[in-house]
C-alpha cells in the first residue's frame, strides 16, 4: 500500500526545506560528518543532501552514503566527485545447469587456485585506462592526395583511441542462488558471476580534472560531458570483460558479445543487472550525484547490494514486470536513492563478519581481527520501506562459491 501511495505524483508532500535531510539516517551524524555536510551544501546556493541509512566516513576518510542535488547552472566545482566515480556492481547469469553448480561447490581447492591464477593474470597483463583513451571526435582526417589535400570521413567516434585492459577489481566472484518467482510457485537453482569495481586510474584522473577545471563548467556540463559519458561506459565494459574472463577460466558459459567500442578486439559478458555505486545524472530539477547509493528511477532489473565478501551479495527486487528482478521504483521528491553497500562500521548496530575460505586475496593479507559490518536488521528494512522500496517484492541472496579480491 505504501508503494501505491508513493506513485501518486501530485499527492506527494514536498520534502522538508532543509539543506541536509537526515530523516532516512539510522544513526546521528558525527562531528566530522556534520562539518563535511555543512561544507558541501555551503558551496552552492540551493544545494541539498539526503543521507542514506548507511552514511559513514569510509576507509579513505571521505563521507560516503548520500545523494547530493544542485541546480543545472550551478558551478561544477560544487559537485562531490569521488575518486571512485562510476564504480558499480555488475551481475551476469551463467547458462550452465545444476550439474555445473554441484561441480563448483564440490571443488573448493580448485576454485581458489583458478581464481588466484585469474587475478594474477589480470594484474600481470593490465594496461590501465586513462582519459586519453577517450574516442576522438574528429569527423575528418586530412592527408596528402592527388593534386592537393584529401579529406577522409571518420566513423570511429565511439572507438577507444588507445588499448586498455581492466584492472584488478575490488571484488569478483561466482555465486549461487535459489530463486523463486514473484508468484512464489517457481523455484530454481541459478549460478551468477558478479564483479564490483571500475577503472581506478581513469576515475582518479577524472576527479583531478574536476578539481582543476570543474569551476569553469556548470554542473549540467559536467554530468553530460564526454569524459563522464566515456568513463561510465568504460567502467561497465571493464566489469563485463572481467566477468567473461572468470567464466572462461572456470569453463562456464555466460551470454557475451563483442566489445564494439574497444580499440582492439575484445569480448565481454552481457550483464543482467548493473548497479552504480558512484554516479551523477541530470534530473528535471538539476543535477544529482549519488555516492554509495544508486538512482532508483533508472535500474531496470533489480538493485545489487555488496555485502561482506564472505557473505555474498543481495539483490533487491523492484516492481514486478512478469520476469527478471523487477523494474524501477520511487520518486525523487521523496528519496529517489537506495544504498548499495554494507559499510564497515564500529557501532552498536553492527555484526562481526568472519572471513571464509572461499575468499581469495591476491596480495593483501587477511585482517588480524574480524571486521564489524553494519547489520541489516528490521529497523534498516523499515527505513528502506520509507525510501519507497516495497518489501513484498523481496530480495535475493547470492551465496559465494569463490570470491577474489586484491
* C-alpha cell at position 280: 551523477
* C-alpha cell at position 54: 548507511
Position 12 confidence tier, pLDDT thresholds 50, 70, 90: very low
Q: Best-predicted range by mean pLDDT among 54-68, 232-246, 307-321, 347-361? A: 232-246
Q: Identify whether 16 is part of a domain.
A: yes
Q: Whole domain around residue 91: which residue ranges?
A: 2-133+157-405
Helix (H, G, I), strand (E, B) or coil at 48: strand
Return the C-alpha torsion angle 217, 221, 226, 232, nearest 10: 110
Q: What is the pLDDT of residues 150-191, one digit of tens each?
A: 444 444 457 899 999 999 999 999 999 987 655 556 678 899
The number of folded domains in the chain is 1
Q: Identify whether 263 is part of a domain.
A: yes
Q: Identify whether 15 is part of a domain.
A: yes
- Among 372, 371, 389, smallest CA distance to 380 is for 389
Q: Which residues of 33-66 are buried (b: 16+ CB within 10 A; e: fewer)?
A: beebbeebbeebeebbbbbbbbbbbbeeeebbbb
% of the chain surpassing 90 pLDDT:
61
Q: Identify whether 225 is part of a domain.
A: yes
Q: What is the pLDDT of residues 188-240, one digit of tens each?
A: 889 999 999 999 999 999 999 999 998 999 999 999 999 999 999 999 999 99
Q: Identify whether 144 is part of a domain.
A: no
Q: Identify whether 206 is part of a domain.
A: yes
Instruction: Match 528519496 to its residue by C-alpha cell.
Output: 335
Q: Identify whether 141 is part of a domain.
A: no
Position 372 confidence tier, pLDDT thresholds 50, 70, 90: confident
What is the pLDDT at residue 48? 94
Q: What is the pLDDT of residues 265-307, one digit of tens each?
A: 999 999 999 999 999 999 988 999 999 999 998 878 899 999 9
Is pLDDT of 111 > 80?
A: yes
Q: Identify whether 150 is part of a domain.
A: no
What is the pLDDT at residue 323? 64
Q: What's the rounded mean pLDDT across residues 94-115?
A: 92
How many angstroms from the chain centroid is the CA of residue 399?
19
% of the chain surpassing 70 pLDDT:
84
- Among 52, 55, 73, smallest CA distance to 63 is for 55
Whether 246 and 193 have beta carbons less than 8 Å apart is answered as: yes
Its pTM stands at: 0.88
What is the pLDDT at residue 152? 47
Position 3 confidence tier, pLDDT thresholds 50, 70, 90: very low
Whether 403 and 358 have beta carbons less than 8 Å apart is answered as: yes
Amino acid at each position: 500500500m505504501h508503494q501505491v501511495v508513493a506513485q501518486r505524483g501530485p499527492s506527494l508532500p514536498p520534502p522538508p526545506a532543509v539543506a541536509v535531510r537526515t530523516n532516512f539516517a539510522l544513526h546521528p551524524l558525527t562531528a566530522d560528518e556534520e562539518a563535511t555536510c555543512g561544507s558541501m551544501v555551503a558551496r552552492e546556493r540551493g544545494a541539498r543532501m539526503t543521507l542514506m541509512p548507511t552514511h559513514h566516513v569510509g576507509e579513505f576518510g571521505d563521507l560516503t552514503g548520500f545523494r547530493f542535488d544542485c541546480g543545472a547552472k550551478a558551478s561544477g566545482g560544487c559537485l562531490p566527485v569521488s575518486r571512485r566515480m562510476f564504480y558499480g556492481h555488475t551481475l551476469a547469469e551463467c547458462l550452465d545447469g545444476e550439474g555445473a553448480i554441484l561441480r563448483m561447490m564440490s571443488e573448493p581447492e580448485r576454485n581458489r587456485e583458478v581464481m588466484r591464477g585469474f587475478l594474477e593474470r589480470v594484474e600481470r597483463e593490465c594496461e590501465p585506462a586513462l582519459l586519453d583513451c577517450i574516442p576522438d571526435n574528429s569527423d575528418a582526417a586530412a592527408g596528402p592526395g592527388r593534386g592537393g589535400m584529401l579529406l577522409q570521413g571518420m566513423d570511429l567516434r565511439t572507438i577507444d583511441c588507445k588499448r586498455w585492459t581492466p584492472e584488478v577489481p575490488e571484488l569478483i566472484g561466482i555465486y549461487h542462488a535459489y530463486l523463486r518467482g514473484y508468484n512464489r510457485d517457481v523455484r530454481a537453482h541459478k549460478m551468477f558471476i558478479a564483479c564490483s569495481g571500475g577503472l581506478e586510474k581513469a576515475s582518479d584522473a577524472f576527479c583531478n580534472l574536476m578539481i582543476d577545471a570543474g569551476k569553469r563548467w556548470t554542473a549540467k556540463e559536467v554530468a553530460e560531458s564526454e569524459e563522464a559519458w566515456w568513463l561510465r561506459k568504460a567502467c561497465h565494459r571493464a566489469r563485463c570483460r572481467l566477468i567473461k574472463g572468470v567464466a572462461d577460466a572456470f569453463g562456464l558459459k555466460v551470454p557475451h558479445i563483442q566489445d564494439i567500442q574497444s580499440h582492439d578486439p575484445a569480448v565481454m559478458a552481457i550483464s543482467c543487472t548493473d548497479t552504480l555505486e558512484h554516479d551523477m545524472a541530470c534530473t528535471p530539477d538539476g543535477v544529482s550525484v549519488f555516492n554509495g547509493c544508486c538512482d532508483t528511477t533508472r535500474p531496470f532489473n533489480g538493485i545489487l547490494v555488496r555485502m561482506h565478501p564472505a557473505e555474498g551479495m543481495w539483490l533487491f527486487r523492484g516492481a514486478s514486470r512478469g520476469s527478471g528482478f523487477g523494474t524501477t521504483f520511487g520518486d525523487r521528491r521523496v528519496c529517489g536513492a537506495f544504498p548499495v553497500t554494507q559499510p564497515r562500521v564500529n557501532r552498536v548496530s553492527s555484526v562481526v563478519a568472519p572471513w571464509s575460505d572461499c575468499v581469495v586475496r591476491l596480495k593483501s593479507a587477511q585482517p588480524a581481527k574480524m571486521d564489524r559490518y553494519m547489520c541489516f536488521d528490521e529497523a534498516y528494512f523499515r527505513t528502506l520501506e520509507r525510501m519507497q522500496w516495497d518489501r513484498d517484492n523481496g530480495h535475493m541472496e547470492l551465496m559465494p562459491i569463490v570470491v577474489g579480491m586484491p
